[in-house]
């Protein structure tokens, strides 16, 4: 793992929705192979921030450089960038009219122009990695939430992504399915993938995070390694938040 | 938990609905009422015709369906007219789908001018009567651009129905959740790839029922081109009547032919809908 290469560089980033100041003066650097977990109360801008990382939202000022590509509205390289940056959504967003295998191969085939045979081979490999090779020919609606989310992870991986973004990947899941998704994410972290995860799963955060980020009201309040973050956070707001979510 | 302000002993059956509700909700009664109404209409038509001394000549109708002449079997005017109507409708519908999809995509595009053009087109077409539109195409645009009455009627039907079809496309496209757009974007698809592989295939099941209604509507409104004497079912009906004066028999027959065609279409599509529903 080369900690010196920055994969995501955010400098002075601001984002507005009309008059609402959604992200305020964000500075953040994520290095290659680093696992960053972002937490904070709802509406604090966590999702908005990572949605900026693959151009689902556009920032209004500041700089955002991802894997050497400057991201801004109208950037020509944005489609190439999205192929490098995978995104896993809270609501899975699998394509319901395609089988699991087709969900996994449509991106590589149509976007990267890879042959069907090769795309299917890759897809089956990744389904193996997320532990559901037997579900390849089913439709998403026939799978449980946890299985669907693992398919969604595999779909991103099939694009041979270099960065994976997770937007509350377990928030829409029934409690008994959360662990199967988190296990896959831990295994993915062990392969050295660069990951930015928005989640409230603090057990997962302790296990994999290199860096913890706490956001509130559109600002980054605290950036620290997990040992310090969980035992002795520097800001009072972060301490209160952790007390609330770790209380029970 | 148990006390919701309803005082009813446990385990007792629910009270029966009032007699009148049960009476009118039963299928048998509904069918009965329906039969009585249809019977009344038929009776009024029949006695009305009798009253004006109409001479029914149903035996003369079959010759307009088919004939066995010395050269052999040949189709009558009505089936030939039906085929012409179907040809006209199919051509107009395909063209209407193309225009409708373009207008819908324009309207959904981020371009301000695109949606302005689309809205202008929709309001213009929706607020002109079909008959006036037909006259515009035949008497005004026809001579200017040099197309014949057949082309004028296809263009009229296509343009008129494209306005409604574009709204069906728009509603169908909007019915696909935004998460699908985001997922397609996040694997690097372009907008046109997203439409083609992700959005449109999913909108089909939202669009099928209203689109069937629109085909039925188009087949019916194609009858209007008989006013500029384009050869199709209604025109043939008019021609037969001017030769035979059997207006009651022929109009009943023509109406029945339209009814049969549109019913077959509706039933076929409802099977298709079930098929699409299973895949989801």
Residue A65 clears pLDDT 80, i.e. is over it: yes
Please tell me if residue A76 touches chain B, with a CB cutoff of 8 Å: no
B15, part of any domain: no
Residues with Cβ within 8 Å of residue A211, at least 6 apart in sequence: A30, A34, A35, A36, A37, A223, A224, A225, A226
If you measure CA to CA, which chain A residue comes closest to B182? A56
**How many inter-chain contacts (A to B, CB under 8 Å) are there?**
66
Residues whose CB falls within 8 Å of the CB of residue B158, separated by 6 or more in sequence, listed in order: B91, B92, B93, B95, B96, B99
Nearest CA in chain A to B185: A82
Say if B183 is an interface residue toward chain A (CB within 8 Å).
yes
Q: Quickly state the pLDDT bin for B72 (edges 50, 70, 90).
A: confident
Put simply, the answer to whether B182 touches A93 (Cβ < 8 Å) is yes
Q: What is the pLDDT of residue A10?
A: 92
pLDDT at A79: 84
Per-residue DSSP letter, A168: S
Chain A residue with minimum CA distance to B203: A97
pLDDT band at B96; cut points 50, 70, 90: very high
Q: How far apart are CA B166 and CA B188, in angstroms?
A: 28
Q: Is residue B6 part of a domain?
A: no
Residue of A nearest to B179 (CA): A93
Torsions phi, psi for A73 (to 5 deg): -65, 120
Q: Is residue B18 part of a domain?
A: no
Task: Find the mean pLDDT for residues A35-51.
Answer: 91
Cα(A26)–Cα(A91) distance, rounded to whole angstroms?
A: 26
- Residue B276 is predicted with a pLDDT of 67
User: B168 in a domain, yes or no?
Assistant: yes
Residues A8-23 have a mean pLDDT of 91
Nearest beta carbon to residue A89 from set B183, B188, B190: B183
Instruction: Identify whether B128 is part of a domain.
Output: yes
Interface membership of B180 toward A (CB under 8 Å): yes
Quick one: A246 exposed, middle or buried, by C-beta within 10 A (0-12, 13-18, 19+)?
Answer: exposed
Q: Please give the pLDDT value at position B280.
A: 47
Please tell me the distance in Å from B180's CA to the nearest CA on chain A. 6
Contact B182 A87 (CB under 8 A): yes
To the nearest whole Å, the CA of B113 is away from the closest chain A CA by 19
* Residue B178 contacts A where some CB pair is shorter than 8 Å: no
Whether B73 maps to a domain, the answer reads no
Residue A103 with chain B: CB contacts under 8 Å: none
Q: How confident is the model at residue B250 (pLDDT cuts 50, 70, 90)?
A: confident
Give per-residue pLDDT as tens, A145-200: 999 999 999 999 999 899 999 999 999 888 888 999 999 999 999 998 999 999 98
The neighbour count for residue A144, using CB atoms within 10 Å, is: 15
Minimal CA separation from B188 to chain A, in Å:
5
Distance from the B202 Cα atom to the nearest Cα atom in chain A, whole angstroms: 6
Residue B70 lies in a domain: no
Do the domain assignments include residue B213? Answer: yes
Average pLDDT value for chain B: 87
What percentage of chain B's residues is helix, strand, coil (to nearest 5)? 80, 5, 20
- Lowest mean pLDDT across A11-15, B99-103, B227-231: B227-231
Q: Residue A96: list chain B partners with CB under 8 A.
A: 202, 280
- Give per-residue pLDDT as tens, A74-115: 777 888 888 889 999 999 999 999 999 999 999 999 999 999
Q: What is the CATH number of the domain that holds B195?
A: 1.10.3720.10
With CB atoms and an 8 Å threshold, state whether A95 touches B187: no
A-chain CB neighbours of B202 within 8 Å are 95-97
pTM of this prediction? 0.77
B186, A54: Cβ pair inside 8 Å?
A: yes
**Residue B103 or residue B15, greater confidence:** B103
B190-244: pLDDT as tens digits: 989 999 999 999 988 888 888 888 998 899 999 898 888 888 888 888 888 888 8
Please report the beta strands in A55-139, taking only residues with DSSP state E, as ranges in sequence order.
61-66, 69-70, 85-88
pLDDT tops 70 at residue B69: yes
Q: What is the pLDDT of residues B13-40, one digit of tens each?
A: 787 878 888 887 888 888 898 999 999 9
Q: By the CB < 8 Å criterion, does A97 face chain B?
A: yes
- Interface confidence (ipTM) of the complex: 0.89
| A122 or A75, which is more confident | A122
Q: Report the domain count for chain B.
A: 1
Beta strand segments in A95-144, E: none
Give chain A positions within 8 Å (CB) of B183. 87, 89, 93-95, 152, 155
Helices (H), A162-217: 175-190, 202-208
What is the residue-averaged pLDDT of chain A? 90
Burial A34-54 (b: 16+ CB within 10 A, else e): bbbbbbbbeebbbbbbbbbbb
- What's the mean pLDDT in B132-148? 91
For residue B277, the model assigns a pLDDT of: 64
Confidence of residue B179 (pLDDT cuts 50, 70, 90): very high
Average pLDDT score over residue span B249-256: 88
Q: Which domain holds residue B196?
A: 87-274
Decide: helix, strand or coil at residue A225: coil
Contact at CB, B202 and A96, closer than 8 angstroms:
yes
Note which residues in 134-193 of chain A have CB less than 8 A from chain B: 139, 141, 152, 155-156, 159
């Amino acid at each position: 793992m080369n900690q010196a290469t920055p994969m995501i560089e955010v400098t002075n980033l601001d984002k507005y929705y009309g008059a609402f100041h959604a992200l305020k003066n964000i500075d953040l650097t994520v290095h290659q192979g680093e696992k960053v977990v972002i937490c904070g109360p709802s509406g604090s801008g966590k999702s908005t921030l990572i949605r900026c990382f693959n151009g689902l939202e556009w920032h209004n000022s500041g700089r955002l450089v991802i894997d050497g590509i400057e991201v801004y509205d109208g950037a020509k390289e944005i489609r190439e960038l999205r192929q490098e940056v995978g995104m896993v959504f809270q609501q899975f967003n699998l394509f319901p009219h395609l089988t699991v295998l087709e969900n996994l191969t449509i991106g590589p085939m149509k976007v990267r122009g890879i042959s069907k045979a090769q795309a299917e081979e890759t897809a089956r490999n990744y389904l193996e990695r997320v532990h559901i090779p037997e579900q390849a020919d089913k439709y998403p609606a026939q799978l449980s939430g946890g299985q669907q989310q693992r398919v969604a992870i595999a779909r991103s991986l099939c694009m041979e992504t270099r960065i994976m973004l997770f937007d509350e990947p377990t928030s829409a899941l029934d409690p008994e399915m959360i662990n199967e998704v988190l296990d896959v994410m831990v295994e993915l972290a062990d392969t050295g993938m660069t990951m930015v995860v928005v989640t409230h799963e603090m057990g997962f955060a302790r296990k994999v995070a290199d860096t913890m980020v706490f956001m509130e009201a559109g600002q980054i309040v605290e950036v620290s390694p997990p040992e310090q973050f969980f035992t002795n956070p520097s800001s009072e707001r972060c301490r209160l938040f952790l007390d609330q979510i770790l209380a029970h | 938990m148990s006390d919701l302000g309803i005082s009813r002993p446990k385990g007792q059956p629910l009270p029966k609905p009032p007699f009148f509700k049960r009476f009118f909700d039963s299928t048998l009664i509904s069918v009965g009422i329906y039969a009585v109404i249809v019977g009344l209409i038929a009776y009024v038509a029949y006695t009305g015709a009798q009253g004006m001394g109409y001479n029914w000549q149903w035996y003369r109708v079959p010759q307009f369906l088919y004939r066995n002449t010395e050269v052999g079997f040949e189709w009558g005017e009505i089936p030939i007219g039906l085929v012409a109507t179907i040809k006209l409708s199919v051509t107009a519908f395909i063209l209407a789908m193309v225009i409708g999809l373009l207008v819908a995509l324009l309207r959904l595009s981020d371009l301000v001018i695109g949606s302005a053009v689309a809205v202008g087109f929709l309001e213009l077409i929706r607020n002109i009567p079909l008959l006036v539109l037909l006259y515009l195409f035949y008497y005004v645009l026809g001579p200017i651009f040099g197309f014949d009455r057949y082309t004028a009627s296809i263009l009229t039907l296509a343009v008129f129905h494209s306005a409604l079809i574009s709204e069906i496309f728009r509603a169908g496209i909007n019915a696909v959740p935004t998460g699908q757009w985001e997922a397609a974007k996040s694997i690097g698809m372009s907008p046109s790839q997203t439409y083609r592989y992700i959005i449109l295939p999913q909108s089909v099941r939202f669009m099928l029922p209203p689109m069937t209604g629109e085909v039925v509507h188009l087949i019916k409104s194609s009858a209007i081109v008989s006013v500029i004497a384009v050869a199709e079912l209604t025109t043939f009906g008019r021609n037969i009547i001017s030769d035979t004066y059997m207006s009651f028999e022929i109009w009943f027959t023509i109406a029945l032919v339209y009814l049969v065609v549109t019913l077959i279409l509706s039933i076929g599509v409802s099977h298709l809908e079930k098929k699409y529903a299973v895949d989801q």
